[in-house]
Homo-oligomer: A and B are copies of this chain.
Amino acid sequence: MPNTAEAAAAFRELLRKISHYEEALALMAWDLRTGAPKKGVPLRSEAMGTLASEAFALRTSAEMGELLAQLTDGAAAAELDPVVRAAVHEVQKEYDRFRKIPPDRYQAYVVLTTQAESVWEEAKHTSDFRLFQPYLEKIVAMKREFVEYWGYHGHPYNTLLDQYEPGMTVDQLDALFTPLRQQTVELVQAIAGSGVRPDVRPFRGSFDKERQRHLSRCLLERMGYDFSAGRLDETVHPFQTTLNRYDARVTTMFVPDDVRPAISSTLHEGGHALYEQGIDPALIGTPLSQGASMGIHESQSRFWENIIGRSREFWEAQLPLVQQVFPELSGVSAELFYRGMNDVAPSLIRIEADEVTYNLHIMVRYELEKGLMSGDLRVADLPGLWREKMREYLGVEPDADATGVLQDVHWSGGDFGYFPSYALGNLYAAQFRSALARDLPDYREQVRRGELGGILAWLREHIHRYGKTRTPAELVQQVTGQPLRADDLVAYLHEKFRPLYGL
């Protein structure tokens, strides 16, 4: 048997090898979304299947099992340097998760979700939930079966939440979401009743794509995005992906007749990328070299998109750039631009929702997922329940499943427990903002002067560099001195939107 130092070196080497497969797979996925020729997709998918299987085999290999057993042994664990110790803990969780599922059941799950995604596409296209229903029923049943293999404390949904948001539980989410929902519903109703609507006519027009690209590049540069460790491309659905520690890519979208989607998407994905570009390089080659959780990651994108990028101060500083790129907007004032970026109104589609109503879309999904996993809800009842909850929380109701229960891809891939991360991102972001205001009381003045470097440095110092070496709860406590709570987001939304709508 190797001694501890040798085992630690072998462990790091194995992780590095896995990270190399992940880099290839991330590039192959990025390429598929940024312009790979469509006839090449079937062979590409096969190639990705081969590499993904190989990476999976390495993760669950006998060698990995032996190294983990040796390195989690009390005496050995005490000798390890903290990075390796934290990596061992993280990898052990993943190892257990994979090893607890019987291989034939996992294989069946992969086949099922692969089929289900194309069925979902067809069902959404024809707006026919009944097509998708039998697949979703099987996915839900299998996910519940998996939860039994994995085990759970309290609610079965807790185990799924934990996979995206380590440590998060139904109890905590209920305690956060209930007051947030009540206060948000009230705010949305008040806004709707205010009679005020921002003037969005100036944002309608014809906006050249190359100019939008130039504007997006400038905004990323001003945020502090390092283009020598990333790149910007155009896609229909914007995303951020990290190939390696020095290659954090962003994509954005260009809508020909509205300049705002490019701005919001660029700031959002740029926020994700800044997180990745700020992680301590000592964590390279380990699974700690990523965000603390989906929710914490989303907090960084929302922070830049909403808290900074939809603030009055930001547009006082940045509007001249937009006007330089699009002289036709030179008659628009910063105040009008700010208001146009903050048009609040209930709508059907989550990904198009504004800053206020967005969380209500998440709550609809959260409650349905929770009920499916506990067995209290049946898949067949989803379309009706969806409409009911939309009416209750948002006051609008889809007349077709395509714009209702079928709008999102997540369930077809078995991703239950993911949606809450989006709302958690907003909660974390607002609470981080309070801490930022405490540490940098003039941060708004900095934004007004176009200085974003101090804010980025604060995020790097307090959040980014830690990567996944802290749980979300530890990180929030450490940064803000408080556990996660709804108060900061509720206060932020009221403070910002009541005056905007004359309330």
Residues of A within 8 A of B (CB): 16-17, 19-21, 23-24, 27-28, 31, 35-40, 42-44, 46-47, 49-51, 54, 210, 226-231, 243-247, 284
Instruction: Please determine whether B40 and A24 come into contact, CB atoms closer than 8 angstroms.
Output: no
> Inside 8 A of A38's CB, which chain B residues have their CB?
228
CA of A355 to CA of B16, assembled, Å: 48
Which of B19, B43, B245 is close to A244, meaning CB atoms less than 8 Å apart? B43
> Inside 8 A of A230's CB, which chain B residues have their CB?
37
Instruction: Please determine whether A24 and B28 come into contact, CB atoms closer than 8 angstroms.
Output: yes
> Inside 8 A of A28's CB, which chain B residues have their CB?
24, 27
Which of B21, B23, B228 is close to A44, meaning CB atoms less than 8 Å apart? B23
CA of A43 to CA of B228, assembled, Å: 14
Sample (24) of A-B pairs whose CB atoms are under 8 Å apart: A19-B47, A20-B47, A21-B50, A23-B44, A23-B47, A24-B47, A27-B31, A35-B231, A36-B231, A36-B247, A37-B227, A37-B229, A37-B230, A37-B247, A38-B228, A39-B226, A39-B246, A40-B229, A40-B246, A43-B244, A43-B284, A44-B243, A44-B247, A47-B244
> Inside 8 A of A23's CB, which chain B residues have their CB?
43-44, 47
Given that A37-B227, A228-B39, A231-B36 are contacting pairs, would A244 and B44 also be in contact in the complex, using a CB cutoff of 8 Å?
A: yes
Which of B42, B47, B247 is close to A43, meaning CB atoms less than 8 Å apart? B247
Identical chains in the assembly: 2
Instruction: Please determine whether A246 and B16 come into contact, CB atoms closer than 8 angstroms.
Output: no
CA of A243 to CA of B229, assembled, Å: 25
Which of B20, B40, B46, B226 is close to A243, meaning CB atoms less than 8 Å apart? B40
Chain B residue at smallest Cβ distance from A277? B39
Nearest-CB distance from A49 to chain B (Å)?
A: 8
Which of B16, B46, B227, B231 is close to A20, meaning CB atoms less than 8 Å apart? B46
Chain B residue at smallest Cβ distance from A18? B50
Chain B residue at smallest Cβ distance from A42? B246
CA of A42 to CA of B51, assembled, Å: 21
Nearest-CB distance from A274 to chain B (Å)?
A: 15
Nearest-CB distance from A403 to chain B (Å)?
A: 31
Instruction: Please determine whether B20 and A244 come into contact, CB atoms closer than 8 angstroms.
Output: no
Given that A27-B27, A28-B24 are contacting pairs, would A43 and B246 also be in contact in the complex, using a CB cutoff of 8 Å?
A: yes
CA of A47 to CA of B285, assembled, Å: 11
**19 extra interchain contacts, Cβ-Cβ under 8 A, other than A20-B50, A20-B51, A40-B247?**
A19-B47, A20-B49, A21-B50, A23-B43, A23-B44, A24-B24, A24-B28, A27-B27, A36-B247, A37-B230, A37-B231, A37-B246, A39-B226, A39-B247, A40-B243, A43-B247, A44-B243, A44-B247, A47-B244
Chain B residue at smallest Cβ distance from A30? B31
> Inside 8 A of A43's CB, which chain B residues have their CB?
23, 244-247, 284
Chain B residue at smallest Cβ distance from A243? B40
> Inside 8 A of A50's CB, which chain B residues have their CB?
16-17, 20-21
> Inside 8 A of A226's CB, which chain B residues have their CB?
39
Given that A16-B46, A43-B245, A43-B246 are contacting pairs, would A51 and B24 also be in contact in the complex, using a CB cutoff of 8 Å?
A: yes
Name the residue in A210, A228, A245, A247 with the highest tally of chain B Cβ atoms < 10 Å from its Cβ: A247
> Inside 8 A of A243's CB, which chain B residues have their CB?
40, 44
> Inside 8 A of A39's CB, which chain B residues have their CB?
226, 228-229, 246-247
Name the residue in A20, A28, A50, A284 with the highest tally of chain B Cβ atoms < 10 Å from its Cβ: A20
3 pairs of A and B residues whose beta carbons are closest in the complex:
A40-B247, A20-B47, A39-B246
Chain B residue at smallest Cβ distance from A31? B27
> Inside 8 A of A245's CB, which chain B residues have their CB?
40, 43
Nearest-CB distance from A122 to chain B (Å)?
A: 22
> Inside 8 A of A19's CB, which chain B residues have their CB?
47
CA of A21 to CA of B28, assembled, Å: 12
CA of A39 to CA of B36, assembled, Å: 24
> Inside 8 A of A17's CB, which chain B residues have their CB?
50
Which of B21, B47, B51, B244 is close to A40, meaning CB atoms less than 8 Å apart? B244
CA of A43 to CA of B17, assembled, Å: 11
> Inside 8 A of A27's CB, which chain B residues have their CB?
24, 27-28, 31
> Inside 8 A of A49's CB, which chain B residues have their CB?
20
> Inside 8 A of A36's CB, which chain B residues have their CB?
231, 247
> Inside 8 A of A231's CB, which chain B residues have their CB?
35-37
> Inside 8 A of A47's CB, which chain B residues have their CB?
19-20, 23-24, 244
Name the residue in A37, A42, A229, A231 with the highest tally of chain B Cβ atoms < 10 Å from its Cβ: A37
> Inside 8 A of A210's CB, which chain B residues have their CB?
210
CA of A226 to CA of B47, assembled, Å: 22
CA of A49 to CA of B16, assembled, Å: 12
CA of A51 to CA of B16, assembled, Å: 12
